[in-house]
Structure 1
Amino acid sequence: MIANEEAARSWLRSRPEVDKAATVRLENLVALLSAENQRQNLVSAASLEQVWLRHIVDSAQLLAHVPRGTSGAWMDLGTGAGFPGLVIAALRPETAVLLVESRTRRIEWLSRAAAEIGLTNVRVCGQRLEAVETRPVSVISARAFAPLDRLLELSARFSTRDTLWLLPKGRSAKQELEDLRTWRHAFHVEQSITDPQAGIIVGTLAGGKGRPT
């Protein structure tokens, strides 16, 4: 378990995705986030004191669950302040990352941050998820976007049997998965490395609503 900023930075340096260029991109993201948070409440002020732990590594840890060789687009739902979407894009510049966000000021922030960091692999989908054009993607992530059953109802149309779902759910992960009755899936809960009480729902979706697990 990672407990502080020094350990978070050390963990990042150990990741294969983190080279000098990726480090610069993340440093720039942190600086931009801190400045923008003075203008709009992207994240809590208290969390900025542990920004590498609470936001950067908390996002980057999702990559540990992505099999080598995974290609195709990554869709991040309800990106908000940019987590995990901007972090993933910074660490995987070869991967197309779709950031779905409907709030105007957040859309502006995501677009500006991606441009200033030089994330040419980012596309900001500035609309409600229901209006986003259906397309298959390789990975779907969502951090505090919606309860699991509702999230699947909204986004299952982007998923194939091979699509990997990575859903940080905090303390509710196990309970939300236990309560999921009407979808065929191969989901399980992984322990978060940034919070001993948090879990990440990981897996694939095999069927739709009305089909018991």
Structure 2
Amino acid sequence: MSLALPYLQMGLQQMQIELSAEQQQKLLDYVALLLKWNSTYNLTALRQEDQMLSHHVLDSLTLLPYLDGVAQLIDVGSGGGMPGIPTAICRPDIQITLLDSNSKKTSFLSQAVIELGLSNVKVITGRVEAVEGIEFDAITSRAFAELRDFVTLTSQLLRVDGRWLAMKGVHPYEEIAQLPEDVHVAQVDKLTVPSLEAERHMVIIQKGASA
């Protein structure tokens, strides 16, 4: 018997996240897809189910408390679908776009969306600069670029009153100092991910100079 479900449930309990049995199963199915396709598409350096659950699924779910009022979200440089796919499973009410320039990875993402039945997810293959004609309430990324590049390259995609939700490791003091003057950091929160020793921070950035 797989220990994945109790491992996931313990992590969700520690993070105070309540999900239905169907949502929990979809998160496990997503990890199974990562394991299945990883050797072909090079989606993650991790190879163990428990590591994928902590480093990818639970880590992605630290985004959930920051999605109040968000109807449209884009995950830039989504790679293997983190944080976009776990978020989409937990928040079917949010329309989520997964963007990546690597066609192998977006092939996996498209397949995962079909197999997991995620009707709230759209996959785009291409560079972020080429995306036009749509604005989002929030833009997130887990490993796309330094903050300055992240903000500059995606600025045209963010609503005036929207926010960037940058998922970072250690506190990015230097990156924050190099941000353009027409944006400001609203807050930086230290995050705790069960079974993950590494530091994690959420950097929330908004348009407009700081008051």
Task: Assess same fold via TM > 0.5.
Answer: yes
Contact 2:88–2:94 (CA under 8 A) maintained in structure 1: yes
| Equivalent-residue separation in structure 1 for 2:146 and 2:61 (angstroms) | 22
Match of 1:36 in 2: 37
Taking the TM superposition and a 5 Å limit, the aligned residue runs for 1:43-54 are 43-46=44-47, 48-54=49-55
Contact 2:71–2:93 (CA under 8 A) maintained in structure 1: no
Q: Deviations over 1:38-93 (max 9, x none)?
A: 323210135644111100010011112223xx142111100001000111111111
* Counterpart code for 2:137: S
| Equivalent residue pairs, number | 202
Tell me how far 1:133 sits from its aligned partner: 1.5
Taking the TM superposition and a 5 Å limit, the aligned residue runs for 1:67-78 are 67=68, 70-78=69-77
Match of 1:153 in 2: 152
Q: Structure 1 142/132 Cα, relative in aligned 2: closer, same or farther at 3 Å? A: same
| Equivalent-residue separation in structure 2 for 1:203 and 1:180 (angstroms) | 10
Q: Percent identity?
A: 28
Give the TM-score normalised by structure 1.
Answer: 0.85
Contact 2:41–2:108 (CA under 8 A) maintained in structure 1: no
| Equivalent-residue separation in structure 2 for 1:111 and 1:165 (angstroms) | 24
| Equivalent-residue separation in structure 2 for 1:20 and 1:162 (angstroms) | 35
Contact 2:76–2:98 (CA under 8 A) maintained in structure 1: yes
Tell me how far 1:175 sits from its aligned partner: 2.7
Match of 1:114 in 2: 113
| Equivalent-residue separation in structure 2 for 1:7 and 1:113 (angstroms) | 22
| Equivalent-residue separation in structure 1 for 2:103 and 2:124 (angstroms) | 11
| Equivalent-residue separation in structure 1 for 2:180 and 2:122 (angstroms) | 34
Match of 1:66 in 2: 67
Does 2:120 correspond to 1:128?
Answer: no
Q: Deviations over 1:175-210 (max 9, x none)?
A: 311332523324321112124523221242225xxx
Unmatched 5+ stretches in structure 2: none
Contact 2:136–2:162 (CA under 8 A) maintained in structure 1: yes
Give the TM-score normalised by structure 2.
Answer: 0.86
Range moving further from structure 2, 155-164 or 180-189: 180-189
Unmatched 5+ stretches in structure 1: none
Q: RMSD across aligned C-alpha pairs, in angstroms?
A: 2.2
Q: Deviations over 1:113-144 (max 9, x none)?
A: 01000001110011111111132211110111
Match of 1:55 in 2: 56
SS at match of 2:113: helix
